[in-house]
Amino acid sequence: MTKPGALGRSAPLRKLGFLTIGLFDEADPRAGHEATLKLMELGEQLGFDSTWVRHRHLQYGISSPVAVLAAASQRTRHLELGTAVIPLGWENPLRLAEDLATVDILSGGRLNAGVSVGPPMHFDRVRRSLYPDTADAEDFSYTRVRRLLDLVRGEPASDVDGFEGFEEFSRRVQPHSPGLASRMWYGAGSLSSARWAGEQGMNLLTSSVVKAEDATDFAEIQLSHIRTFRAHHPDGDRARVSQGLVVIPTDTATASQRARYEQYAQQRTPRTAAPQGPARMMFAPDLVGPSDLIAERLLDHAAFREVDEVAFALPFTFASTDYAQILTDMATRLGPALGWRPTR
């Protein structure tokens, strides 16, 4: 593992993953969900280490990642299955702990559960449907994550224990999956959230979006998050961090695919020039081009040099054939250019 402050990578990329939103057509949602599952099967065939899904509520992307990953657990054998991330403002921590443990058991211990906090998006517009009686009392702070962590770790959820008549009860969430607690991730976009995640002993997910607090250079900001996280984590420099930039290799793409990919990136480039909105969010440029060129840009990226695992994000609006080409180039061209080799 590269130590903080080192110039250049001292070890090859260890884990290669990809992230998808799981786009679907409202008129035929089954086809979109099936395409996502087939993409995961392809990822396993190509030797990827992990696949991750995003959470989209009241949109045309995966709204129930736990259910989708439960299905994926029965169609893959080795691929690690992750959520990046579940916004806990939409969730009951106890029920979510049960669901996460169930998927982890079904998958044989392959679940990586990433979460974040804060009020649900457009909360003023959905509060009557989501929390009709308790909206003003809901706590959307880090306390919600700590509740989930405690339940996943096996802390008591009830004082009912043993038999009542013919039924047996447990004080802790069932099923209990002992290894899941070590695979809980926090999606951090600010320095304070990165520090908090480290103090909790969680793993860190850092993506293509960060908050510009003391700087306006994306790589510099992300690097400060990673170093702060590890400085406050019990495992120090060994604490796990996964980076999730948008990466689109074009080695085997057709001319029309390359043109579409470049247009997609160009449309998104203006938002990378300066902090966006009142929250001063900074976006990383999408990386589009041949794998050797992308590898050069990544190895020049200060934050990338601090990690040895990634979950490259797939663009939201492409076709299944595009995703197949991108994943194939990632696994056969870009990964090896970064020193990665499939473990099976």
- Kindly report, residue by residue over 212-248, the tens digit of the pLDDT: 998 999 999 999 999 999 999 999 999 999 999 999 9
What is the pLDDT, as a whole number, of residue 10? 56
CB atoms within 10 A of CB 172: 18
What is the pLDDT, as a whole number, of residue 214? 86
What structural domains does the chain harbor?
15-337 (3.20.20.30)
Tell me the whole-structure pTM to 2 decimals: 0.95
For the chain of 344 residues, list the mean pLDDT of each consecutive stretch of 10. Answer: 42 95 97 98 98 96 97 98 98 98 98 98 97 98 98 97 96 97 98 98 98 95 98 98 98 98 97 95 97 98 97 95 98 98 90
What is the pLDDT, as a whole number, of residue 2? 38
The answer to whether 131 touches 101, Cβ cutoff 8 Å, is no
Query: At 113, which amino acid appears?
Result: A
What is the token pair recorded at 227? 């170093």
The answer to whether 268 touches 286, Cβ cutoff 8 Å, is yes
Alpha-carbon gap, residue 67 to 55, rounded angstroms: 12
What is the token pair recorded at 66? 């736990």
What is the token pair recorded at 191? 């320095």
The answer to whether 38 touches 323, Cβ cutoff 8 Å, is no
What is the pLDDT, as a whole number, of residue 9? 53
Q: Quick one: CA dihedral 41, 58, 70, 172, positive or negative? A: positive
Phi and psi at residue 147, in whole multiples of 5°?
A: -60, -45
Alpha-carbon gap, residue 185 to 191, rounded angstroms: 16
